[in-house]
Amino acid sequence: MDGYIEYTSRPGHVGLTLITLGGLSVLAALFWQTAPGYVLLLLIPSILICMYQTVVTPTFGLRMGEAEWVIMDGINDMRIAASEIAYLRVVERSDAAHASVVLSNGIELDVPLDDDQLHGNLVADARAMGITVQQR
């Protein structure tokens, strides 16, 4: 097995952000003739913040590889050698589905995944990587 298998997600909705950006741009164009000072003061920073949030949205999830796993928790990505992983614990209850990586020294690291990703091929992919999986 080559490369990585990724289960990632980004919060927010890019389509809604682009619609908001378009709406703010239309408002800026409409009000520019009557109140350019307010446009510069209010709408231009709002447009810049909207664009910034679109570009800098963090990624959450899990990247599994033969040699290492990466738990992506927004800003802090934790790299774990595959040899240090004791097993993957997956709780698949509909109300509280979650996964965690348990290291050989007993430390348990939560994996930020959506419910849809937990009910997908995560268990089969982890077993294909040679990692024991505990399901509840």
Q: What pairing do the DSSP bridges indicate for beta strands 76-81 and 85-91?
A: unpaired
Q: Please report the pLDDT score of residue 70 as a whole number.
A: 93
Phi, psi of 132 (to 5 degrees): -70, 140
Q: Please report the pLDDT score of residue 61 as a whole number.
A: 87
CA distances (Å), origin 49, targets 11, 52, 61, 91, 122: 16, 5, 25, 38, 35
86 pLDDT exceeds 90? yes
CA distances (Å), origin 21, targets 30, 41, 67, 132, 133: 14, 16, 42, 46, 44
Mean pLDDT across the chain, nearest whole number?
A: 85
Q: Please report the pLDDT score of residue 1 as a whole number.
A: 47
Distance CA 82, CA 70 (A): 10
Q: Taking the complete model, does pTM exceed 0.75, yes or no?
A: no
Q: What share of the chain in percent tops pLDDT 70?
A: 96
Q: What is the mean pLDDT of residues 78-93?
A: 90
Residue 84: pLDDT band with limits 50, 70, 90: very high
Residue 59: pLDDT band with limits 50, 70, 90: confident
Residue 8: pLDDT band with limits 50, 70, 90: confident
